[in-house]
Structure 1
Amino acid sequence: MKKVEILAPAGSMESLYAAINKGADAIYLGGSKFSARAYASNFDNDNMIKAVDYAHSYGAKIYVTLNTIIKENELNEAVRYAGFLYEIGVDALIIQDLGLFKRIKEEYPDFEIHASTQMTIHNGEGALYLKEKGFHRIVLSRELSLEEIEYISKVLNIETEIFVHGALCISYSGQCLMSSMIGGRSGNRGRCAQPCRMEYIIKGSNTSEKKAYILSPKDTCTIENVEDIINSGTYSLKIEGRMKRPEYVAGVVDNYRKAVDQILYNKKFDAEKGKKELMQLFNRGGFSTAYLYKNLGSDLISFKHPRNTGVFLGKVNKNGEIQLQENISLGDGFRVKDKGFIISKILIKGKEVKEAKIGEKVEIYPKSYKKGDELYKSSDKKLFDELEDYLKAYEKKIPLKAKINFELLKPMTIKISYNGLDYEFIGALVEKAEKKPLDKNRVTEALGKSGDYPFRINEVEFENFEEGFVRISDLNNLRREALEGIQKSITKSFRRKRAIKKEKQEEKIKSDKNIEMIYQCITKRQFEALLEEGISDIAVDLFSRHRDALKIKDIIELKEKDKVNIYLKIPNIVKSEFGKVVELIEKLKPYIKGLITVNLGIIHKYKDELFIIGDYKLNIINSQALKFYQSEIDIPTLSLELNRKEIKNMLKSNMGNVQALIYGKTELMISEYCPIGSTFGGRSSCSECNLACTRDDFTLTDRMNEKFRIMTDIFCRSYILNSHPLNLIEEKEELASLGVNSFRVEFRDESKNEVKNIIRMIRNEIKIDNNKYTKGHYRRGIE
Structure 2
Amino acid sequence: MRNKKVELLAPAGNAEAFYGAVHAGADAIYLGGNRFGARAYAENFSEDELVDCIRYAHLLGRKVYLTVNTLVKESEFSELYEYLMPYYRAGLDGVIIQDMGVFAFIRDVFPQMELHGSTQMTITGEYGAEFLKKQGACRVVPARELSLEEIRRIKEVTGMEIECFIHGAMCYCYSGQCLFSSILGGRSGNRGRCAQPCRLPYTVGGNRRECYPLSLKDMCTIENIPELIDAGIDSFKIEGRMKKPEYAAGVTAVYRKYIDKYYEKPGEKLSISGEDLHRLSCLYIRSERQNGYYHKHNGKEMVTLNNPAYSGSDEQVLEQIREKYLYKHLTLPVQMKASFLTGTVAKLTLRCDQTEVTVTGETVQEAAKQPITVENISKQLGKLGGSNFHLDGTMDILVSENAFYPLKTMNELRRKGLSLLEQKLITANGFPYTREVQKPFDITGAHNGHMQKQSGFSLYLRTAEQWNGFLRSSFLKKPKEHTSLRIYVDSDLFLTWGDTIAEHLQILKKIPAETVLALPKIIRLLDSRYLKLLEKSIRDNLEAVDGFLISSLEHVGLLQQWHFLQSKKRYGDHSLYLWNCRSIEFWTDYLDGFCLPLELNYAEQRQLVNGILPAEKFLYGRIPMMVTANCVTKTTDHCRREEGFGITELTDRYHKVFPVMRNCTHCYNIIYNSVPFSLHKTAAKWKDSFCCRLEFTTESENETFNVLEYFYGSRTDLPYTEYTTGHEKRGVE
Q: Give the shorter-chain TM-score range.
A: 0.7 to 0.9
Matched, 1:454 2:412: no
1:567 maps to which of 516, 523, 528? 516
SS at match of 2:143: coil
Question: SS of the residue aligned with 1:110?
Answer: coil
2:31 and 2:417 map into 1 onto residues whose CA distance is 30
Counterpart among 574, 579, 601 of residue 643 in structure 1: 601
1:639 Cα offset (Å): 1.1
- Which deviates the most, 217-226 or 286-295? 286-295
Q: Tell whether the 8 Å contact from 2:147 to 2:294 is kept in structure 1 after alignment.
A: yes
The structural deviation recorded for 1:298 is 0.8
Could you say if the C-alpha distance between residues 135 and 20 of structure 1 is closer, same or farther in structure 2, counting changes exceeding 3 Å?
same
Per the alignment, do residues 65 and 560 of structure 1 end up closer, same or farther by CA in structure 2, a change over 3 Å counting? Answer: closer
Aligned counterparts of 2:732 and 2:399: Cα–Cα separation in 1? 73
Q: 1:399 to 1:258 in 2, by over 3 A?
A: farther
2:545 to 548, 569, 592: 592
- Using a 3 Å threshold, how does the CA distance of structure 1 residues 467 and 735 change in structure 2: closer, same or farther? same
- Tell whether 2:240 aligns with 1:291: no
Deviations 1:241-274 (A, max 9, x none): 1111111111011111112211223499845432
- Structure 1 residue 566, shift from structure 2 partner: 3.3
* Alignment-derived partner of residue 353 in structure 1: none
Cα drift, residue 59 of structure 1 = 2.4
Q: CA 1:269–1:249 in structure 2 vs 1: closer, same or farther (change >3 Å)?
A: farther
Q: How does 1:170-185 map to 2 (within 5 A)?
A: 170-185=172-187
1-structure distance, mates of 2:425, 2:441: 29
Asked if the contact 2:70–2:190 (Cα under 8 Å) also holds between the matched residues in 1, the reply is: yes
Give the Cα separation in 2 of the matches to 1:444 and 1:280: 46
User: Residue 582 of structure 1: CA displacement?
Assistant: 3.0
Shift of 1:568: 1.9
Q: Post-superposition shift, 1:613?
A: 1.7
Residue in structure 2 matched with residue 667 of structure 1 by the alignment: 624
Tell me which amino acid in the other structure corresponds to 1:708: F
Counterparts of 2:434 and 2:528, CA distance in 1:
46
Given the alignment of the two structures, is residue 517 of structure 1 paired with residue 457 of structure 2, yes or no? yes
Identify which of 318, 330, 333 aligns with 1:396. 330
Q: Which residue of 1 aligns with 2:555?
A: 602
User: Which of 562, 573, 577 is residue 615 of structure 1 equivalent to?
Assistant: 573
- In structure 2, C-alpha distance between the alignment counterparts of 1:51 and 1:723, rounded to whole Å: 46
Percent identity of equivalent pairs? 33
**Alignment partner, residue 61 of structure 2:** 59
Relative to 1, partners in 2 of residues 1:15 and 1:390: Cα closer, same or farther, differing over 3 Å?
farther
Equivalent residues of 1:170, 1:673 under 8 A apart: yes
Kept after mapping to 2: 8 A contact 1:571/1:597: no
Per the alignment, in what secondary structure is the counterpart of residue 114 of structure 1? Answer: strand
- Runs of 5+ unmatched residues, structure 2: 367-372, 477-484, 561-565
For residues 672-691 of structure 1, what are the alpha-carbon distances to aligned partners after superposition, in whole Å with 9 as ceiling and x for unaligned?
1001112110xxxxxxx243
Alignment partners' CA distance in 2, 1:223 and 1:125: 30
Unaligned runs of 5+ in 1: 310-377, 432-436, 682-688
Q: What do you get for the CA RMSD once the two structures are aligned?
A: 3.8
Q: Describe how 1:369-768 pairs up with structure 2 within 5 A.
A: 378-390=312-324, 392=326, 395-400=329-334, 402=335, 404=337, 415-418=349-352, 421-425=355-359, 451-458=385-392, 482-487=417-422, 489=424, 493-499=432-438, 516-533=456-473, 534-535=475-476, 537-543=486-492, 550-558=496-504, 560-561=506-507, 562-563=509-510, 565-589=514-538, 590=541, 591-607=544-560, 608-651=566-609, 653-681=610-638, 689-691=639-641, 694=644, 697-713=647-663, 714-736=665-687, 739=689, 741-764=690-713, 765-768=715-718
CA contact (8 A) 1:200 1:701 kept: yes
Q: 1: distance between equivalents of 2:119 and 2:594?
A: 21
Amino acid at match of 1:120: T
1:281 paired residue among 262, 280, 283: 283
1:2-81 aligned within 5 A: 2-81=4-83
Deviation at 1:95, TM superposition (A): 1.4
1:144 aligned counterpart, secondary structure = coil
1:222 pairs with 2:221? yes
Separation in structure 2 between the aligned mates of residue 113 and residue 71 of structure 1, nearest angstrom: 20
Letter matched to residue 667 of structure 1: P
Structure 1 counterpart SS, 2:31: strand
Which range moves more in the overlay, 108-117 or 246-255? 108-117
C-alpha offsets along residues 553-601 of structure 1, whole Å, 9 cap, x if unaligned? 4534425544265322112211103533431332222142222121212
Distance in 1, matches of 2:340 and 2:571, equals 79
Which range moved further: 672-681 or 385-394?
385-394
Matched residues in 1 for 2:645 and 2:109: separation? 55
How far off its partner does 1:461 sit? 10
Instruction: Indicate conservation of the 8 Å contact 2:31/2:66, yes or no.
Output: yes
Q: Secondary structure at the match of 2:84?
A: helix
Q: CA deviation at 1:30?
A: 1.3
Q: Is the CA contact 1:79–1:100 (under 8 Å) kept in the aligned structure 2?
A: no
Q: Any conservation in 1 of the 2:518–2:550 contact (CA below 8 Å)?
A: yes
TM-score w.r.t. length of structure 1:
0.80
Asked if structure 1 preserves the Cα contact closer than 8 Å seen for 2:25 and 2:253, the reply is yes
The alpha-carbon deviation at position 295 of structure 1 amounts to 4.9
1:709 positional shift: 0.6
TM, length-normalised to structure 2? 0.85
Report SS of the residue matched to 1:757: helix
Post-superposition CA distance 1:686-713 (Å, at most 9, x none): xxx2438659641000011100011121
Give 1:424 deviation, angstroms: 2.5
Letter in 2 for 1:75: F
Contact 1:178 1:195 in 2 (8 A): yes
What letter matches 2:635 in structure 1?
S
Given that residues 333 and 352 in structure 2 are in contact (C-alpha distance below 8 angstroms), is that contact kept between their aligned partners in structure 1?
Answer: no
8 Å contact from structure 1 (residues 571, 599) kept in 2? no
Deviation at 1:757, TM superposition (A): 0.9
Give distance in 1, aligned partners of 2:307 and 2:458: 44
Q: How many aligned positions are there?
A: 690
**1:668: how far off?**
0.6
Range that drifts further, 223-232 or 580-589: 580-589
Partners of 2:340 and 2:403 within 8 A in 1: no
Measured against aligned partners, the alpha-carbon deviations of 1:58-89 in whole angstroms (never above 9, x if no partner) come to: 22222111111111111111233123332333
8 Å contact kept, 1:96–1:115: yes
Asked if structure 2 preserves the Cα contact closer than 8 Å seen for 1:677 and 1:692, the reply is no
1:656–1:50 CA distance, 2 compared to 1 (3 A): same
- Asked if structure 2 preserves the Cα contact closer than 8 Å seen for 1:407 and 1:468, the reply is no
Tell me the amino acid that sits aligned with residue 114 of structure 1: H
Per the alignment, do residues 771 and 623 of structure 1 end up closer, same or farther by CA in structure 2, a change over 3 Å counting?
farther
Name the CA distance, whole Å, in 2 between partners of 1:71 and 1:753: 39
Are the structure 2 counterparts of residues 444 and 668 from structure 1 closer, same or farther at C-alpha, using a change threshold of 3 Å?
same
Q: Bigger CA drift: 78-87 or 487-496?
A: 487-496
**Per the alignment, do residues 418 and 747 of structure 1 end up closer, same or farther by CA in structure 2, a change over 3 Å counting?**
same
What corresponds to 2:212 in structure 1? 213
The question of whether the paired residues in 2 share the 8 Å contact of 1:203 and 1:210 is answered with: no
